[in-house]
Every structure is written in C-alpha cells, then in structure tokens.
Amino acid sequence: MPVGSRIRRLKDRLAGLGFLPQAGAGLEGLRTENGVTVDMVVRSGQENPDSSIGVYAGDPESYRLFAPLLDPIISGYHQYSASAAPSRNLDPRDLAVTNLDPSGERILSTRIRVGRNLKGYAFSPAITAEARRELERTIVDALGSLTGDLAGTYYPLADMDEATRAQLVSDHFLFKQGDRFLESAGINRDWPEGRGIFVSADTRFSAWVNEEDELRIISMQPGADLLAVFERLARAVQSLEQILPFAYDERLGYLNSCPTNLGTALRASFHLTLPGLSKRSDFKELCLSLGLEARGVDGEHSEPEGGVCDISNRRRLGINEVEAVQALHDGTKRLLELEQES
C-alpha cells in the first residue's frame, strides 16, 4: 500500500478514536538520520486495525520530523498541550497515600515502572543489532553498580533455559517476545539477542533491557504499599540517571518509542480483584473517567479475567511522577468504594 494511503487510513481510524492527526503531504519524503520514515511510524497501526494507537517513533528525531502526525495524538491521549514544559517530582514525601487494602483482600500486588532510552541511539523499531548489543553492555554495567536492596543479577535472555524463562514470565518478572503490534513496528527484530532482565535478591526491583524500550526500571511487591514501591523506584531512577544519559526532550519529557509513554514515562499499577465492577459493560469507561486504564494481568492487549484486573494511571505527560502515582491511588480508592457498593 502506498505510504500516503497508509497515513490517510491511520488518520481516519485515529479520528474515530477521538484523535485528529494532521498528517498530510510532505511527510512521505522525510527520513531521520537513523533512516526512520513515516511509513515505519504508522505500519503497526495499519497492519493491526485493532491497535489502540498504532504509531511508534523510531528515534528522538521522529517526534520533531513527524510532529504534524504525532503531536495531536500526544495531546489527545495525555490531554495535554504538547508545547508545555514537563515537570518532575520523585520525592515520596509529597505523596498523600495510604495502604488501600491492608487486609490484602482486594489488592494483590503493586508495581511502578518507568521507560527509558539512551541518548544517541535509535529506539527499538530502528536500532541495529550491533547498537543493541552495545546498549546491553552499557546498561548492564550501570545496573551492576547498584547497591543495597537494589543490587542483583543480570540474566541474558539468549542464555536462559526455557524452563527458567517460562517461570519468570508466569511470575510477571520477565517480558516475553513482543506481540503482533510490536512485531509490525519492527521491535522484535533479532530476538532474543541483546535482551535480558536484572533482578534484585529480594525480587522487588528489576530492570528489563531492550524490550519495547531500551530500559524499563521496575519496582514491585505483593500487597498495596504504594509508598514503599515508589520510594524504591525513585532511588533506582536517581542512581541510574547519574550514570546513563537518558533521552529527554524539553517539550515531551523522557522519550520512548510509543507516544503513550512520554513525559514521566511512569506507569503505576495495582493487580486487584473487582468481581462486581469488572463485569460491567462500561468498566473501562468508568476507569477512564477516574484517570485510570484497565487491562488484564497479562499486560497490554489482555482483558480482565475472573474479576482480576490491572489498573494503572492513564496519563504520563503533563503531570509529574508524584501526580501520576497519586492518580492511581485516588482513582483506585474510588473503584474500591464502588465495588463495595455493588
């Protein structure tokens, strides 16, 4: 299909979802220094019409070169002016949160992650195999410098036996090979070379290397202690950013391949049981009205099953890290109240 037709079809689909990208003549002939074209940016959405967004940036320059397509999507998703400057706050003392489920009856676990890419490299859709291996070495060296409860071990995916890999995926520690949406975006190339997971001794801190983005920094633990999980994440991020040069833009914040992961690039989530609410036909719309996003516990593109859901903050850009985590706390508190009433 000609590139112009791809863009027009994607524009029509996104308009139906409430986004109004102004894609038009001129984008087809553009190419970033890493060789990223607008055809590469929109391919996943064109090959997967059920994609929620369907666009992936191939490198930082993509956000400037293809801004007529991407800026309206960014503003529509995050409800944020793409011209405003992002803010930052990783101070746990500014959180006004309580343990929403001290009995452990509803909230099974808490997880907060941020996505990061390194300055000077293309993102996963366009990176070369050699650069991915170089990134792996750089990131693993940085992770190896962590101390205390953040210290751990790196496990290269290419050297991992199948039983260990399957168990780590089942336990929600390890990512699996990307789905068809990531496949279409070119993110699965050279699998599993240059990829792996770093895990702390107590398994409450981990890092994914070269999954959808070059680095996912993750803090998680059983139960609903959101403050403890955020405090651990903040220490890890602050330690790593002293060593690694993260890709950052004064307009869009931390840069990742998917426009939904800009700004703070922070996703805070609870795995919780909502047997009543999750049966409602408007459950996802209810979550959206509270600033939340609902999915299944197997991640993006999965559905809640048996009343067990993954609930997270929707916005990442236009708010700081504390506000993103606070949104999860406040919205989930209301969900639990409504579940009790149902």
Identify whether 216 is a catalytic site residue.
yes
HEC profile of the chain: CCHHHHHHHHHHHHHHCCCCCCCCCCCCCCCCCCCCCHHHHHHHHHHCCCCCCCCCCCCCCHHHHCHHHHHHHHHHHHCCCCCCCCCCCCCHHHCCCCCCCCCCCCEEEEEEEEEECECCCCCCCCCCHHHHHHHHHHHHHHHCCCCHHHCEEEEEHHHCCHHHHHHHHHCCCCCCCCCHHHHHHCCCCCCCCCCEEEEECCCCEEEEECCCCCEEEEEEEECCCHHHHHHHHHHHHHHHCCCCCECEECCCEECCCCHHHCECCEEEEEEEECCCHHHCCCHHHHHHHCCEEEEECCECCCCCECCEEEEEECCCCCCCHHHHHHHHHHHHHHHHHHHHHC
Catalytic: which of 113, 116, 132, 315?
A: 113
Catalytic: which of 111, 116, 295, 316?
A: 295
Catalytic: which of 106, 132, 216, 232?
A: 216
CA separation for the pair 64, 39 (Å, rounded)? 16
Contact 229, 219 (CB under 8 A): yes
Identify whether 260 is a catalytic site residue.
yes
Catalytic: which of 47, 134, 300, 339?
A: 300
Identify whether 212 is a catalytic site residue.
yes
CA separation for the pair 317, 86 (Å, rounded)? 7
Catalytic: which of 110, 138, 260, 264?
A: 260
Identify whether 295 is a catalytic site residue.
yes
Catalytic: which of 231, 258, 293, 309?
A: 258
Catalytic: which of 212, 231, 321, 323?
A: 212
Across the strands, what pairs with 253?
Answer: 249, 263
Catalytic: which of 132, 232, 267, 315?
A: 267
Distance, CA of 276 to chain centre: 28
Alpha carbon separation from 147 to 217, 233, 240 (Å, rounded): 15, 14, 11
Which candidate, 242, 222, 212, places its Cα nearest to that of 58?
Answer: 212
- Residues with catalytic function: 113, 212, 216, 258, 260, 267, 295, 300
